[in-house]
Each structure stands twice: as C-alpha cells, then as structure tokens.
Amino acid sequence: MEVSVINISGKATAKKVSLDDAIFAIDPNDHAIYLDVKQHLANKRQGTHKSKERAEVRGSSKKLKKQKGTGGARAGNDKSPTRVGGGRAFGPRPRDYSFKLNKKLKRLARISALTYKAKENNITILEDFVFETPKTQKYVDLINNLKFSDKKTLLVLGASNKNIYLSSRNLNNTKVVTASDLNTYDILNANNLLLLESSVKEIENLLSN
C-alpha cells in the first residue's frame, strides 16, 4: 500500500511511502484488540477504593436489645450493615487490577488496530519535521493545515522530540508518542493517525519481529 507524504503545510509532496501489508493489511483479530485495550485500561486503575466494614466503623459493640421477647427482629450492635451508620458488608478493598498478556497477542492487537486505520484511510504520513522551540501555536497551525482541528489525532514520532511533545501537551484531542510507545488503545482512540516518515520504518521494525 502506497501513501503520499504530506508536509506540515498540508500539501502533498512528490514522495510516497510504502506501508508493509504484514503490518497494515492483515485480517484483524478483534478479540486480541479487546484483550489489549482491556489490559491497558485495567493497568491504569489505581485500585485504591476502600469502604469501612463493621469492624472499622465507630460505634458501640453492645447488643442493642435482648435476643428474644421484644416482638421485633434480632439486633446486634450499632456497627451492623443493616443499620444507619453501620459498616458496609463486603465493601470494596484496595486491589491490583493489572493482568498479563503475551507479547505476541499484544503485537497482533496493535497490527490489527493499524490495519483498521489503514482500511478506513485514517492514516496520514507526514514529512519529518522539528520545532526549534516549544510553541503551541505551531502545533495548532499544523493540525489546522491538515484540517483535523475537529478530530482526535495521534502523532507518532520516530524518536523522542521534546519540543514537539511540549507544543502539543496543552491541547485537547491531540497526543504525541514515539513509535516504541505506540499502543492499541491510543491507535483506536484517535480519529486520525499521523505518522512521520521516520516512524513508519520504526513501527515496521518493532512489529515485524
């Protein structure tokens, strides 16, 4: 698959980039995508939720009334989960939500996500560029030139570039990552995938192993 290279002014250049069919044109595996996205979201959970159970709430441990002869239901103490101000029964406790996935499955998920973007024509190849200094307006101009101002975009760099990252950091609906940090969730969460020329080879090298 050949894709024209666009410059930061939004105009097509004479160059073209060939996308490897083994990365951008496979038969997508939806279940692999589901598992990888599920893991990504699970790993981001703090798991610090906690509620007090009956042993932890403040209150008297004295039995409220005698067991029999009152005509009412049996009652323990004020800490009972059935009483106002009592502890919660089986409340949430701190836990780790993360789980493991095999590298091959995660690789398949990323390739499947890239394939979907390629099929939907939502991949744009950008000519390599750098920002001399961090400047948010420069990044805004780039997105406007590409006519993606109302879209979620993910810019993938071949190597880390602090100035480009800092220029995009304060903007909504934009994200900048390096090819080595590319994940399935970010690919699918973006409407348009912006790949620098240098990142294409990097992605293919990472995912072809």
What are the DSSP calls for 56-93, one per residue?
A: TS-S--S-SS-SSSSSS-----TT-TTSTTPPPTT---
The pTM assigned to this predicted structure is 0.84
Are residues 148 and 72 located together in one domain of the fold? Answer: no
Are residues 102 and 88 located together in one domain of the fold? Answer: no
Which residues of the chain have a pLDDT value below 50?
none
Q: Which CATH number do you get for residue 25?
A: 3.40.1370.10
Q: What is the pLDDT of residue 63?
A: 94
Which range marks the domain in which residue 72 is found?
52-96
Q: What is the pLDDT of residue 209?
A: 66
Are residues 158 and 194 located together in one domain of the fold? Answer: yes
Are residues 92 and 104 located together in one domain of the fold? Answer: no
Are residues 116 and 190 located together in one domain of the fold? Answer: yes
Over the Cα atoms of the chain, what is R_g?
Answer: 27
Q: Is the CB of residue 175 less than 8 Å from the CB of residue 135?
A: no
**pLDDT tens across 70-109, in order?**
999 999 999 999 999 999 999 999 999 999 999 999 999 9
Q: What sections of 120-178 are H helices per DSSP?
A: 136-145, 162-168
Are residues 57 and 91 located together in one domain of the fold? Answer: yes
Which is nearest to 204 in space by CA: 173, 182, 172? 182
Are residues 16 and 35 located together in one domain of the fold? Answer: yes
Q: What sections of the chain are H helices per DSSP?
A: 21-24, 30-44, 103-119, 136-145, 162-168, 184-189, 197-207
Q: What is the pLDDT of residue 173?
A: 92
Q: Work out how many domains the chain is built from and give that number.
A: 2
C-alpha span between 158 and 141 (Å, rounded): 21
Are residues 11 and 109 located together in one domain of the fold? Answer: yes
